[in-house]
A and B are shown apart, each in its own frame.
Chain A
Amino acid sequence: MRIGSAIHGPRLVAKLMALSVALLVVPWLSWLLLVEMERALEAMQFRQQLLVAKGISTFLNGREDLFADLPIDPEDYEALYARPITGSARLDGAIEDWNDVDSHVANAFGASGGTADGSFDLSLGDREGWLYAFLKVRDDVRVYRNPKSLRLDGADHVRVDFIRADGEDGRIAITASQAGVTTAYPMDAEWRLAETGAPERSVQGHLVETGEGYALEFRMPLDMLGSRRVFGLSFVDVDDPQTRAIRTVTRTLPTAGEESFGLVVYRSPEVLKIIEGLGYAGYRIMVIDTESRRRAETGGLDLGPRPPAETNWAAIPRGAFLKTRQWLEAFTAGDADVAQDAEGAAEVIASALAGDPLALRRHAGEKEVIMAGHPIVGAGGSVIGLVAVEQTIEDIETFQYAAIDSIVWVSVASLIAFVLAVIAFSGRLTWRIRNLRREAAAAIDEYGRLRSAALSSEIHSGDEIGDLARSVSNMLTRLRQHNHFIENMPRTLRHEINNPLNVLSTSLQNLSEDVADVKDSRYLESARRGVLRIGAIVENLADAASLDESLQAEDMDEVDLEQLLANYVGNCAITHPDHGFLFRGTGAAVIVLASDYRIEQMLDKIIDNAIDFHRAGSAIRVQLDTGPEHARIAIANRGPPLPRDATGSVFESMVSHRGPDNRLHFGLGLYVVRTIAEHHGGTVRALNLTDGSGVVISVQLPLATGAGKAEEPAQDHSSRTA
C-alpha cells in the first residue's frame, strides 16, 4: 500500500479518538452537579441550623431575666469580662494561643494609665470551667522569692482575693522563685505567710520575663470563686532584694478594702442549663447577649486538623482534584465567599441582634463551619440576645469527597474503557474496511478484467460495511454480466452479420449467373471484395474475443522452442521474401510446455507487427535465450521507437499506435500476443532499443523442468483433452 499517497485526512482511529475527548464533559458535568448538590446540602444545613436556633430561641423568648441573673448588681462592681477562649490556652506566659485572632482585650491598671513601675495589663478568659488570667507587668527590678524564707511577701508576687463558695474570704498568692512555673499558696489575713504551708495546686501559672518586666499566665477553677464570682487581683512589687520591702501594690480596684473585688462576668448558668439538654456532639449552641457576651455554650466542635488522608491509592485523584478545586470553584461559581473566622461570627451576631436570622459559612481553625444565628426577643419585642448554632460541614465534605472520588474514578475508568473500546472498534472497523478494499481492488486486474464476480468477505455482515460489501458485490456481478455480454458481442455479431452476409454473397453469385451483363462488372467485383472484407473483420474480432476460451481447450505439449523458432524463421524467409530475418538460438533444445499452434500464432502477430514497423532493408532479428527458469524470445526490428508511455498499453485490446490511416487494424495483434503468452504462464514486454533505433518485443515463457513438472498442470486446463 502506498501510505504516503493513500492518506488524505485523519484516519478513522484518529477521528474517533478526537471524538472521545468529548467524554471529558462527563466529569465536568459531574463536577457541576456536585457543586449544585453541595449548595443544596449547605442550604439544607443552613435551614436546619436556623430552625434549631429558632427552636432554642423560643425557649428564651421573653426571658430577660435570664440575661439579668447576675449574682450581684454589676453596677456595684468593676466588671472584669472573661471572654471565652477558643484556642488551646497553654500555660506558657503568652496570650497569643487563647484565640485564633488577635482580639484580646486587656484592661490596664496602675498609676499613670498603667505605664508606671508596678502597673499591669490584665486579660481574663474562661475555658471549660477555668478562669484564665494573663498579666503583663511593668517592673524595673525583678525580685524572686527566696525559697528559704517562709515569708512570701518578700518578693514580687500576685495576690488574688475572692469570696469562696462557702462565703469565707479567700486569699491566694502566686509566687515564683524563678521564671517558669509558679506556685500558689492560700495566705493568712496579713498576706505574710502561707496559711497551711501547702501550695494550692489547682491554681497553676507560668511566668516569663519580658523586656519591661513579667508576663504571667495562670488559671484557677471557676468553682473556687463561688456563685458570686467576684475576685480582686493585686501585684505586689518588691524592688530591693536586700530589704525585701514592699514598694507598691497595684490593685484591680482603686479603693482598697474588703468589698473591693472585681466582678468576673461570664456565662449565665441558668441559660446554660436550658440549652445543655439540647446540645449533642457535632453541634455547638451558644447564647449571646446584646453585649456580644457569650452567656452560655454547650456542645463542642472538633476543629482540629482532619486526620491525614488515607494513604491508599484511591485518595490520590482526590488530592489532585482538591488542589484544583479553588480554581474550579472560582470558575464555576464565581468567588467563593467563605467568610473568615471572626468576621463571619461578628456578621451573624450583628445580623441576629438586628432582628434578622442569618446563617453563613465560615472558616474555623482548619475546617469550615456553618453558623446560624437567631434573635431572642424580649417581652417588649426588642432583641435581648441571640442563639447561635454552629456545626462543621464535615458531613457535607465527607459526602463531597466520596463523590469526588467516585466521580474521578468512574470518569477515568469510563474514559479508559471508552478509549479502549474506540481503539478496538475502530481497529476492527479499519481492518474490515481494508479487507473489503483489498478484495474489491483484487476483483479487477491491472488490465481491467474481472477476476471474480462476487466478494466473499463481509457479505454476511449486517451493518453498513456489509451493505457496502453486498452492493459492491452486486456491482461486480452486474459488471460481470455486462462484461459477459460485451465478450459475447463479437460472436453474436458474427452470427448476426454472417447470415445477411451470406445472403449478400449468395445473391451476388446468383445475380452474376442470372444477368449476363453484370458478370464482368467491376461493381460486382468490388461488392464481393467488400463482402469478404466485412467477413474478415468480423472473423478477426470474434477470434480475438474468444481467444481466452479457445486457449482453454488447447492441448499443451513439450515443445522445443529452438527447433520451432529455427523452423519458423526459416519459413519466414519464404513467406516474406522481401524482408530479411536473422535467428540466433541457444544451440540446444529449449523445452517449454506449450501449444505449438498458439506459439506460432503469437510469432505471426509479432512478426507482422515488426514487418509493419521495420525500416526497409533492415533485418528482423529473432533471438532465443534461456535463464534459470525462463526462455526468452526477443524479436527486434529497426524503426521508429514506441512513444514512451505506450510500452505497456500496446498489448491491450483495441489499442493501436499505428495512426488514424490504418482502418483495418483494431490493435488486436499484440493483444493476442499477450493473451497467448499469459496463457502459457509467461509475460510479454515491448521495449525501445537502448540506442533508440527500434523496438524489441520480448516474450518470456517458463521452461518445462523435467517430465514430472511437465505433467503438472501449470495452467489447470493444460491437462484437459479436446
Chain B
Amino acid sequence: MATLIAIVEDDPDQRANYADAIVKKGYETATYASRAEALAGFDERIPDLAVLDIILGPEVDAGFQLCRELLARKPTLPVIFLTERINEIDKISGLRLGAWDYLPKPISLDYLAERIASLIRINDVRTSGEDSVSPSARRVGGLVLDQDALLVSWQGRRIDLSATEFRMLAKLVRNPGHAVSYETLMQSTMQSLVTHNTINTHMRNIRKKFEREDNEFAGIKSEYGFGYRWTVGD
C-alpha cells in the first residue's frame, strides 16, 4: 500500500497545488477542506503523515485540534503544520502537541516534498525500535546529533527539537566556536521568507529547550549584528 499523505487545507487552490506536488513524488494523498471532513476521512484510514493548516475556515485553531486527535489515534504519526505566522509556533511548542515540524507560508513545494520524504524516513528509523545511537550520529562535546532520526541529546538527555530547529542547530555546530551568520541560518530553514527576527525566535526556542534540561546551558551565544556561535563542548 502506498504511503498516504493527508492534506487539510481550506483553500482549494493551495490544497490542489500541494496535492499535485506530493502526488508527483509518488505518494498517495487524501485532501480535506475542514476539520469535520478530515475526521471522517481519518475514521476510514489513518494517514502515514499529515500536513495541517492551522486556521480552517471560521475555526482558528482547527489544525491544533486535528493534531491532538491524530496523535491520540497514532502517537508516532508525523505532523507538519502550515501556518501564516512564525509566532504561533510558540504556542504549538508550548502546547507540546507533538507536531514534528512547522512551515510558514508561503512555502516552497520542493522543500515540502523533501520534508515529507525525510520525516517518513525518520519515522521509519524511529519505529524500527533501535534506540541506540545510529552511525550517522555526530558528537560535539556533550551534544549528540542524529541526522537520520532527527534526534538530539545534550549530556545524555533527549532534547525534542522540530525539524527546522534541528537543521539550524546542525548548521550552528558544524563549525564549533565559529560564528554562523544570519544568512547561513536562514538557508538552513529552507524557507523563502526569513527575517532576523525569525532566526532569533527559533534560536530562543532552541535555547529554552536546552535550558529546560540543563539550567546552566550557555552553548548558544549571540554574535550581535552577525549571527550565532556554538561555544561549548570541544
Q: Which chain A residues have a beta carbon within 8 Å of chain B's beta carbons?
A: 491, 494-495, 498-499, 501-507, 509-510, 513, 531-532, 535-536, 539-540, 542-543, 546, 550, 564-565, 567-569, 571-572, 574-575, 596-597, 599-601, 603-604, 607, 722
A495-B84, A501-B106, A510-B21 as given contacts; A532 in contact with B193, CB under 8 Å: yes
Quick one: CB contact mask for B72-106 with A, threshold 8 Å, 1 for yes?
00000000000011010010000000000000011
- Specify which chain A residues have a CB less than 8 angstroms from the CB of B21 in the assembled complex: 506, 509-510, 513
Pairwise interchain contact B225-A600, C-beta atoms closer than 8 A: yes
Q: Is B121 an interface residue (CB 8 A)?
A: no
Other-chain residue from A501, A536, A550 in contact with B105 (beta carbon distance below 8 A)? A501
A543 touches B224 (CB 8 A): no
Of the A-B pairs whose beta carbons lie under 8 Å apart in the complex, a sample of 17, sorted by A's number, is A491-B85, A494-B85, A498-B106, A501-B106, A504-B106, A510-B17, A510-B21, A535-B193, A542-B85, A564-B224, A567-B224, A568-B224, A569-B225, A571-B227, A574-B226, A599-B224, A604-B225
* CA A597 to CA B18, docked complex, whole Å: 35
Chain B residues whose CB sits within 8 angstroms of the CB of A507 once the complex forms: 13, 17
Complex alpha-carbon distance, A550 and B197, angstroms: 11
Partner pick for B222 among A506, A509, A546, A600, CB 8 A cutoff: A600
Chain B residue contacts of A597, Cβ below 8 A? 200, 204, 222
Contact of B197 among A491, A495, A505, A543 (CB under 8 A): A543
Question: Which 4 pairs show the lowest CB-CB distances between chains A and B?
Answer: A571-B226, A506-B17, A568-B224, A571-B225
Q: In chain A, what residue has the closest Cβ to B53?
A: A499
User: What's the least CB distance linking B115 to chain A, in Å?
Assistant: 14
Q: Say whether A571 contacts B197, CB under 8 Å.
A: no
Number of A-B contacts (CB under 8 A): 106
Q: Is the interface of B mostly helix, strand, loop or mixed?
A: mixed
Measured in the bound complex, the distance between the Cα atoms of B84 and A546 in whole Å is 14
Whether B214 is near chain A, meaning CB under 8 Å from some CB there, is no
The answer to whether A509 and B108 have CB atoms under 8 Å apart is yes
Closest Cβ of chain B: how far from A77's Cβ, in Å?
A: 139
Residues of A near B84 (CB, < 8 A) are 494-495, 498-499
Question: Closest chain B residue to A491 by CB distance?
Answer: B85
Complex Cα distance A564/B225, Å?
Answer: 10
With A494-B85, A499-B105 as contacts: A604 and B110 at CB distance below 8 Å = no
At the interface, yes or no: B62 with Cβ under 8 Å from chain A? no
Kindly name the residue among A491, A495, A498 whose own CB sees the greatest number of chain B CB atoms within 10 A: A498
Q: Are B109 and A510 in contact (CB under 8 A)?
A: yes
Known: A494-B84, A543-B197. A506 touches B224 (CB 8 A): no
Bound: A495/B88 CA distance, A: 12
Q: Which residues of B contact A513 (CB under 8 A)?
A: 21, 24
Least distance between A139 CB and chain B CB atoms (Å): 140
Task: Pick from B90, B105, B200, B226: contact of A575, CB below 8 A.
Answer: B226
Q: Is the CB of A499 within 8 A of B11?
A: yes
Contacts of A542 in B (CB 8 A): 85
Residue interface mask B1-34, A partner, CB < 8 A = 1? 0000000000101100110110010000000000
Complexed CA–CA distance, A546 and B87 (Å): 11
Min Cβ gap A469→B in Å is: 37
Q: Is A571 touching B106 in the complex (CB atoms < 8 A)?
A: no
**Chain B contacts for A501, CB-based, 8 A:** 105-106
Task: Tell me the smallest distance from the CB of A580 to a CB of chain B, in Å.
Answer: 15
Cβ-based interface call for B134 (8 A):
no
B contact residues, total (Cβ < 8 Å): 35
Beta-carbon nearest neighbor of A607 in chain B: B225
User: CA of A498 to CA of B107 in the docked complex: distance in angstroms?
Assistant: 10
Is B181 close to A, CB under 8 A?
Answer: yes
A597 to B87, CA, bound (A): 15
Query: Which residue in chain B gives the minimum CB-CB distance to A494?
Result: B84
Is the beta-carbon distance between B224 and A571 smaller than 8 angstroms? yes
> CA–CA, A572 to B224, complex, Å?
9
- Contact status of A502 and B226, CB under 8 A, knowing A509-B21, A539-B195, A722-B90: no
CA distance A539 to B201 in the complex (A): 15
Nearest-neighbor residue (CB-CB) of B87 within chain A:
A550
- A495 vs B193: C-alpha distance when bound (angstroms): 15
A571/B223 contact (C-beta < 8 A), A499-B11, A543-B197 known: yes
Bound-complex Cα distance A688 to B226 (A): 29
Give the residue name and chain of the A residue nearest to B179 (CB): A571
Asked if A535 and B106 sit within 8 Å, CB to CB, the answer is yes
Q: How far is the CB of B104 from chain A (nearest CB, A)?
A: 8
Q: A596–B224 contact, CB under 8 A?
A: yes
Tell me the bound Cα distance from A568 to B221 in angstroms. Answer: 13
Tell me if B196 counts as interface (CB < 8 A to partner A). yes
Q: Is B55 an interface residue (CB 8 A)?
A: yes
State whether A499 and B225 are in contact (beta carbons under 8 Å apart), knowing that A505-B192, A509-B110 are contacts in the complex. no
Specify the chain B residue showing the minimal Cβ separation from A501: B106
B208 to chain A: closest residue by CB: A722
State in angstroms the CA–CA spacing of A504 and B13 once bound together.
9
Q: In chain A, what residue has the closest Cβ to B192?
A: A532
Which B14-62 residues have C-beta < 8 A from chain A?
Answer: 14, 17-18, 20-21, 24, 55
Chain A residues whose C-beta falls within 8 Å of the C-beta of B204 in the assembled complex: 597
Contacting pair A575 B181 (CB below 8 A): yes
Q: Are B196 and A506 in contact (CB under 8 A)?
A: no
Contact of A499 among B14, B108, B226 (CB under 8 A): B14
How many angstroms between the C-alpha atoms of A599 and B227 in the bound complex?
14
Whether A495 contacts B55 in the complex (CB less than 8 A), given A531-B106, A532-B193, A603-B225, comes out as yes
Q: Report chain A residues within 8 Å CB of B55.
A: 495
Find chain B residues with CB under 8 A from A607 CB: 225
Residues of A close to B17: CB separation below 8 A = 503, 506-507, 509-510
Q: Which residues of A contact B13 (CB under 8 A)?
A: 503, 506-507
Docked complex Cα distance between A495 and B181 (Å): 29
Chain A residue nearest to B222 in the complex (CB): A596
Q: Chain B's nearest CB lies how many Å from the CB of A528? A: 8
Q: Is the CB of B106 within 8 A of A502?
A: yes
Task: Bits for B163-184, please: 1 = Cβ < 8 Å to A, else 0.
Answer: 0000000000000000101000
Least CB distance, A660 to chain B, in whole angstroms:
26
Using Cβ atoms and an 8 Å threshold, which residues of chain A touch B106? 498, 501-502, 504-506, 531, 535
B109 close to A506 (CB less than 8 A): yes
Q: A575 contacts which chain B residues (CB < 8 A)? A: 181, 225-226
